[in-house]
Amino acid sequence: MRYLQNPDIVVREEPGEVWLFFDPDTNQRRYSNAVGASVWELCDGTRDLAQIVVEVCAAFEGAPSDQVGADVRELLQNMEADHFIVRAD
Amino acid sequence: MAGSSLTPTPHSIDISLTGRCNLKCTYCFYANEMTALTDLPTDKWLACFEELGRLNTMEVTLSGGEAFTRRDLFELIDGVIANRMRYSLLSNGTLITDQVLARFDEGKRRQRLNSIQISIDGSRAEIHDASRPKSFSRAVRGLRLLKEAGFPVTVRVTITKHNLHDLENIAALLLEDIGLPSFSTNDAIPMGSGCQNEAEVALDSHEQYEAMQIVGRLLERYPGRLNAQAGPQAKIQMYAEMEHARRTGEKTTRWGMGRLTACGCTFSKLAILHDGTIVPCNMLTERLGNITTDSVHEIWHTHPVLTAMRQRRFIPMQDVLGCADCEWAPYCNGSCPALPYTLYGDFNRANPHDCYRRFLQEVGHGVSA
């Protein structure tokens, strides 16, 4: 299953290394950290969960892959529930 | 360094789309700009919205003049929507009809609308029209149409000498008759037309105090249903917190007491006048550039006036001209810089309209009395 960004979502880097996800259709705002922003960037319709985990692990050196896998899975579930991403398949 | 709370790009922009207005209100702060500047054409605004979209700006507030006098208003709204933004509208309400409301049903115009604010200044025509000529019935008709159609409509009541003693009737009209969940208040300030007509419209300190008492009674009757960012209702809270801090030594966390910390808008907002002039705020019209020739991003990060305005919060009130000997300086924040900028050409001054020392001298007692 590959993931794709909802093109209407605005992602802003805010003061304090916080990323703000804003859905203009619903006015929903969610804050995330750098990992969340990286996962978002990787949702370009070409990658599935496993590929995203590999790339996040590479980007955040030293992070245990099991933990990253669980975290990324949860992030993707939350982003999908918020309609920030959709399934590309 | 302006400070760590500066957002990389503006969260929101206040945009005056037009200098045209079908009314001539006695306290209009924008009156001078309306007569001096020319409206930008459609394509320039659409290009502006594209730039704001690239900057990830999230929302715009569209006003005028009267925004509904622009024939291309809905084309402009669609430009806002196409660039991933939400929007609010400020209006006098007189041009709202069923036909106009039907146009919001197209596309995402209604979905992306945060609010539409209508100005109501009286419970009946003779009071409302004293500051907003010949407009009461049309404004209330527009307001009722919006409410009945389920729009996110809000109302702003500007308190003046004309309507001070009508506030309780206005609250009954808005909250009971029309059934709004709430409304907001401010007061007329001596800027634009409000400067020319100050003696006729602006509240003196005694009237400010009376307005505070009336609003206080209304809040007992309608808990949580009146709100304010400025004017008597906001001031009574600010003054009470100053008194509390002076009495107990406990300073509020709502604002930085003892320094020029008001206001914080320049950390997350900008404004654009109807000829494209970029300004810190539509009430503080120091020219920063123009959207037809300058980059909003570059102005946001490099313009010396914005930098200076963001540095105000480091200026102790005791260092502010006219405030050095004020016993309230350790508890004051100088309030909105737009009025001192208008009066003295200097935003690093305290706002005399909101000065608690002046209030005490003129009224003879504090807000806790």
Q: ipTM of this predicted complex?
A: 0.91
- Condensed to tens digits (0 to 9), the pLDDT of residues B301-354 reads 999 999 999 999 999 999 999 999 999 999 999 999 999 999 999 999 999 999
- Which positions in chain A have a beta carbon within 8 angstroms of at least one beta carbon in chain B? 8-16, 22, 24-25, 27
- At B241, list the tokens: 């917190």
Query: What pLDDT score was predicted for residue B2?
Result: 42
Contacts of A14 in chain B (CB under 8 A): 7-8
- Condensed to tens digits (0 to 9), the pLDDT of residues B199-251 reads 888 999 999 999 999 999 999 999 999 999 999 999 999 999 999 999 999 99
Instruction: State the residue range of the domain holding A76.
Output: 2-87
Radius of gyration of chain B, Cα coordinates, nearest whole angstrom? 20
Interface contact A27-B114, CB threshold 8 A: yes
Q: Are B27 and B78 in contact (CB under 8 A)?
A: no
Cβ neighbours for B93, distance < 8 A, ≥ 6 positions apart: B118, B119, B120, B135, B138, B139, B140, B141, B142, B143, B146
Report the CATH number that the domain containing residue A70 is assigned in CATH: 3.90.930.60
CA distance B195 to B284: 14
Interface contact A22-B114, CB threshold 8 A: no
- Condensed to tens digits (0 to 9), the pLDDT of residues B123-151 reads 999 999 999 999 999 999 999 999 999 99
CA distance A48 to B193: 61
Contacts of A9 in chain B (CB under 8 A): 84
Based on the structure, what is the number of domains in chain A? 1
The backbone region for B109, taken as left when phi is positive above 0, alpha when psi lies in -120 to 50, beta otherwise, is alpha
Residue B1 has pLDDT above 60, yes or no: no
Q: B297 — contact with chain A (CB < 8 Å)?
A: no
| Tokens 């309609």, residue located | A83
Q: B84 — contact with chain A (CB < 8 Å)?
A: yes
CA distance A17 to chain B (A): 11
Angle between helices B42-54 and B73-82 (to 10 degrees): 20
CA distance B236 to B243: 10
